[in-house]
Chain A
Amino acid sequence: DAGITQSPRYKITETGRQVTLMCHQTWSHSYMFWYRQDLGHGLRLIYYSAAADITDKGEVPDGYVVSRSKTENFPLTLESATRSQTSVYFCASSDPGLAGGLSHEQYFGPGTRLTVT
């Protein structure tokens, strides 16, 4: 199916373990984003990517690593998980090329609920 998917949808891991959250989109959007959603904070940007092999830090990047070797995939890795990284993670994509560059609308995946014990 077309769209943006995330896997796994739920994950429980232990402190100190490495975990990778996957994100895949079928629209060939150039921009992709990772957010975390926490009560009282709304959505905060972790990392973004403007194109394959181009990534940059967002508001809360510490403890996370991203890569983007292909346009459609944007995995997020927690190198050594901590309890403070327990959160719901959302991947999003957008393509300002649509609608004459004025759209800037983001399309979100269903989220991954991560619990670090």
Chain B
Amino acid sequence: AQSVTQLGSHVSVSEGALVLLRCNYSSSVPPYLFWYVQYPNQGLQLLLKYTSAATLVKGINGFEAEFKKSETSFHLTKPSAHMSDAAEYFCAVSRSSGGYQKVTFGIGTKLQVIP
């Protein structure tokens, strides 16, 4: 079985502060892990992904995430928050199952950036 847990459905940070969004996964096999971002009234778009090539993954808009197998975590960070980062962020775990890509999404974390 595979699942993801996002700690904190709402996170508020001040503009310029560190952004840390937490994601823990459970998977019986080495996973593919993703972070997606959803801006208001839009679909999800890929922020970054982990596919076992490197444990520190850099994504778009200055975000990065570190895969830690010992902690089963894939937390998303950004050194300095910008107003445009206000959005909802979803962690997801994916693996192949009988030729089908089975993806499980977390419930999402809504990021508020305070000026």
Contact = CB atoms under 8 A, between A and B. Distances in A.
Nearest to B42: A110
Chain A's interface: helix, strand, loop or mixed, by majority?
A: strand
B46 A105 contact: yes
B43 A104 contact: no
Interface stretch (B12-20, B64-72, B75-83, B97-105): B97-105
Interface string B77-115: 000000000000010001010011101011110000000
Interface stretch (A12-20, A41-49, A68-76, A79-87): A41-49
Contacts of B41: 110-111
Contacts, number: 59
A34 interface: no
B56 interface: no
B100 A56 contact: yes
A104 B90 contact: no
B105 A43 contact: yes
Contact of A104 (B45, B101, B108): B101
Contacts of A90: 43-44
CB-CB nearest 10 A-B residue pairs: A108-B43, A42-B107, A43-B105, A108-B44, A42-B105, A104-B94, A110-B43, A102-B51, A104-B32, A104-B101
Interface of A: 4, 31, 33, 35, 40-45, 48, 50, 56, 90, 92, 94, 96, 102-111
